[in-house]
Structure 1
Amino acid sequence: MDMGFSRRGLFGAGAAAAAILAGAGPAAAASGMTLRWWGNNGWEIRIGPKTVLIDPWLTRFKTGTYTPAGADPKTPLSVNRALIDGFLDRGELRADHILVTHGHYDHLTDVPYLAKRTGATVIGTETHLSLMAALGAPEDQLAVASGGEDLTFDGYSIRVLRSLHSAVGARAQVPFPGSRPLSRRDRPRVIEDLVEGGTLAYQVTGAGASVLNFGGSNYIEGELAGLRPDVVCLPAGGAKVTQYVPRLLRALGNPRYVAATHWDDFDLPLGQVKDAGGLEPLRTAVAAASPASAFVVLDHLGSFVP
Structure 2
Amino acid sequence: MNTLKKLQLLILLVLLPVLGSSQEPAAAAALSDADELAKQLQNPIASLISVPFQNNFDFGIGPADGSRWTMNIQPVVPMSISEDWNLITRLILPVISQNDVFGESGSQTGLGDAVITGFFSPKAPTAGGLIWGAGPAFLVPTATNDVLGTEKFGIGPSAIALKQVGSFTAGALVNHIWSVAGSDDRADVNTTFFQPFLARNFTGGYALTAVTEISQNWDFDSTSGMFTIVGSKVVTIGSQMVQVGFGPKIFFGNGRAADWGFRAVFVLLFPK
Q: Which has the larger radius of gyration?
A: 2
- Which is richer in strand? 2
TM-score with structure 1 setting the length: 0.29
TM-score with structure 2 setting the length: 0.31
- Which is richer in helix? 1
Higher relative contact order (CA 8 A, sep 6+): 1
